[in-house]
Structures are given as C-alpha cells and as structure tokens.
Chains A and B, each alone.
Chain A
Amino acid sequence: MLSVLRAIWTVFLHLFKRKVTVLYPEERPYIPPRWRGRIILARDPDGQERCVACYLCSVACPVDCIALQAAEDEYGRRYPEFFRINFSRCIF
C-alpha cells in the first residue's frame, strides 16, 4: 500500500526532471567531427579505391557483412578484387 503511494509520488516528481527528448529540427545533438555516419570505401585523390585489402575491417565487423578478395597489381600493390558491404546485414 505504502509502496503504491511512493510509486505515484516518484512518478509525479518526474514532472520536474529534465526531458531526454532532443527537439530535432530546433536543436541538434553534438556530432563528433570524425563521425562518418555510413560505411563507405574511401577513395584517394586520384579516384582510386583507398584500400590495401588488409582484411582488418572484415575481421572487425561483428556481423561479417564486409566481404573482400585481395589481389596484387603489377607494381606489387595490394588492392581488393571486389569489396562488398552487405547493407541488409549491417548493424551500424
């Protein structure tokens, strides 16, 4: 019985607590400068894929949605033969 009254009082006090809602169009949340938002394969200034096919991203991905196949060009530089991100499986 007392616990019921205490529950009601606790909930009532929440009237004066700070709201957790961020009123989006008026106030924007702080976004860290390095936030990229969406996973992409970056390109270098020449327009080439900026990837040396080290597989680190594929290993780190918890749901295994990154698949790639390493290859080497004639100068011995590694590059991905294909680089696939399965967005339907991505949990980011």
Chain B
Amino acid sequence: MSVTVQYLIIVFGVLAVTLGIAAMLIWVERRLLAFWQDRYGPNRVGPFGILQPVADFIKIMAKEDWIPPFADAPVFIIAPAIIVVAVLLSFAVIPWAPSISVADLNVGLLYFLAFSSLGVYSVALGGWASDNKYALLGALRASAQMISYEVFMGLSLMGVVMLAGSFNLRVIVEAQRKLWFVVPQFLGFVIFFIAGVAETHRLPFDLPEAESELVAGFHAEYSGMKFGLFFVGEYLGITLISALTATLFFGGWLGPVLPPLAWFFIKTFFFIGVFILLRAALPRPRYDQLIRLGWKVMLPLALLNLVVTGGIILAAR
C-alpha cells in the first residue's frame, strides 16, 4: 500500500514539477534574455514578475481557439498534444535523485531517444494539417533537421554507454562517482548538446519556425492554447535536454554537501541558462548550412568519437 502511494506521489510529483518548470521557463527566458540585452524584462506581475506565466496563461486561455476552415481538423487538434505527451513520457526515465524516478528502465537511454524522435510527428503533422505553405515549409524543415540531428544525437551518447556499460540512466550516474563523463567524453557532450538544441528546434537552430522567412513556420495557423501547447512542448524539451545533459555528462544528482535533488536542479538549470544564452547570442544559420553542419561535421565527429572511445576501452582492457 505505502509503496503504491509512494509511486503515485513520485509520478504526479514529477508531472507537476516538470510542467511547473516549463511554465516558469516562460518567465525565466524572458527575464534572462532581457538581462543579456541590458533590459529588465517582465518585472511587474508579482515579486520580480514571477507571476508573469499566470498572467500569460489567463490571457492565452481567454483567446479565441480558431481552427481554420481549410485545415484538417482532427490532425490539427491532435498535433500540439503529441509533442507534450512525447516529451513528458521521456521524463519518466530521468533519475532525479537516488530514489526518485518514475521508471527505472534498463533501456532508459533508448527509450528517451525513441520518444524524443516522436516529437517530430507533432511538428510535421501540425504543419501538414494547417494546409498553409509556410506551415508546410516549416514542417518539411523540421522533419529534415530532426532526422539529420537524430542520427548523431544517438551516436554521441554511445561513448557514455560504452564507458558506463549500461543504457540505464541510474547506472550511468553511479558510474560517474569518480569522474564526470564530460571529461573523457567532451566531444560527445558538445555534439549531444548541439543536437539537443536542434532537436528542440531552439535558436540558433529554429529553422522550422524562422519568423523572418516563414512567418511562424509550422505553427503559423495555431492560436490560443494549441499554440500554447507547442510552446509548453518546446520548454519541456529544453528542460529534458538540460536534465539529460546533467545526467549523462555532469554526474546527475552526484555532488557534495547539498542533497542530491538540489544538485540535479542546479545542474539542470545551468544548462537551461546555456540554452537561453545561445538564443541571446547567436544568429540563425542558413538552411543548407544547418544541414551541412549536421551531415559533414557533426556526424563524422560523432563517429570518430565513437571509434576512439571504443579503441581506448579495448586497449585498456
């Protein structure tokens, strides 16, 4: 009985915390972007403007929920939900602390890769169902970008898997007691993080929704809370990639003095900050540059990393 209750608390706790973080990121991002542009950002609603997401939520719920008459209504409605569901399901395997994780899967990393790939369907179907040329172009770009970056995202993580000898995220964290994997796998970390930025189609890799070229890309026809769900999905994606970066390369919950959960949050929020810093600092590359970077630079580098890591492990044996 008490075990069941404990599971329920963990499941709903994780759900509430991830959704809460995703909502708060709206404010965090606007505030940090503002600081990096010598502004203050939203600071009026509540202390330091911390209630801004609440105001935004009320506003977006009050908006007209418009489905264009030319759109493919069922697909149009279900598309924004897919990304949120896919990313939320990925959170199931994240070990927040030694005793806090929803599912202790022994294929946790593969599970994450599978569900993060499902997120593409949301963007592709949303763009397709909108029956709008800009939305379709955005969806096409998103599909091409995600397929290209998915390939070496998985490959870049194999070095970590080889070092830890397991796909289980908890085992991977425990394997980093002596040394964080960012040291032996620095290349893997850089490649994974770049792939993560592309995977969540955040700036500078936000080609699918490039405002200056495609109006708003795949979500050009979306309004109200459906549009909001795409954004929740995006922020959840940022949190997920940051949490995984912390777990796989920076020792997850491991750390001195502070409780494990605190270390996990500190590391995760650091990478969320890096995500926002990248957005503040870097311009968007051209589309062919993006794809060329993926196939001609990142993929060979990931393969090289894989071969060298494997060779060293074999030699050390």
* Bound Cα distance A10, B277 (Å): 10
Are A4 and B39 CB-contacts (below 8 A) given A11-B277, A12-B277? no
A1-29 to B contact mask, C-beta < 8 Å, 1/0: 00010011011101101111101000000
- Residues of chain B from 249 to 284 with CB closer than 8 A to chain A in the complex: 277-278, 280-282
Name the CB-closest residue of B to A23: B40
> Are A17's CB and B38's CB within 8 A?
yes
> Are B278's CB and A14's CB within 8 A?
no
> Are A19's CB and B38's CB within 8 A?
yes
Q: What are 9 A-B contacts with C-beta separation under 8 Å? A: A4-B282, A7-B281, A10-B281, A15-B35, A15-B36, A18-B38, A19-B40, A21-B38, A21-B40
Partner of B278 from the list A8, A17, A19, A23 (CB cut-off 8 Å) is A8
CB distance from A21 to the nearest CB of B (A): 5
> Are A8's CB and B38's CB within 8 A?
no
* Bound Cα distance A11, B278 (Å): 9
Excluding A8-B281, A11-B36, 18 further A-B contacts by CB distance (< 8 Å) are: A4-B282, A7-B281, A8-B278, A10-B281, A11-B280, A14-B36, A14-B37, A14-B38, A15-B35, A15-B36, A17-B38, A18-B38, A19-B35, A19-B38, A20-B38, A21-B39, A21-B40, A23-B40
A residues less than 8 Å from B282 (CB atoms): 4, 7-8
Residue from A14, A18, A20, A23 whose CB has the most chain B CB atoms within 10 Å: A14
Are A20 and B39 CB-contacts (below 8 A) given A7-B281, A7-B282? yes
Q: Give the interface size bracket for A toward B.
A: 10 to 19
* Bound Cα distance A66, B182 (Å): 69
* Bound Cα distance A17, B278 (Å): 18
> Are A11's CB and B40's CB within 8 A?
no
- Residue positions of A touching B, CB distance < 8 A: 4, 7-8, 10-12, 14-15, 17-21, 23
B residues less than 8 Å from A14 (CB atoms): 35-38
A residues less than 8 Å from B35 (CB atoms): 14-15, 19
- Residue positions of B touching A, CB distance < 8 A: 35-40, 277-278, 280-282
Name the CB-closest residue of A to B279: A11
B residues less than 8 Å from A21 (CB atoms): 38-40
B residues less than 8 Å from A17 (CB atoms): 38
* Bound Cα distance A15, B276 (Å): 13
* Bound Cα distance A11, B280 (Å): 7
* Bound Cα distance A67, B38 (Å): 43
Name the CB-closest residue of A to B280: A11
CB distance from A53 to the nearest CB of B (A): 47
CB distance from A8 to the nearest CB of B (A): 4
* Bound Cα distance A4, B280 (Å): 12
* Bound Cα distance A8, B37 (Å): 12
CB distance from A25 to the nearest CB of B (A): 10
Are A19 and B39 CB-contacts (below 8 A) given A4-B282, A7-B282, A8-B282? yes
Are A12 and B39 CB-contacts (below 8 A) given A7-B281, A7-B282? no
Name the CB-closest residue of A to B43: A23
B residues less than 8 Å from A12 (CB atoms): 36, 277, 281
CB distance from A82 to the nearest CB of B (A): 46
CB distance from B211 to the nearest CB of A (A): 20
CB distance from A14 to the nearest CB of B (A): 5
CB distance from B305 to the nearest CB of A (A): 17
CB distance from A13 to the nearest CB of B (A): 9
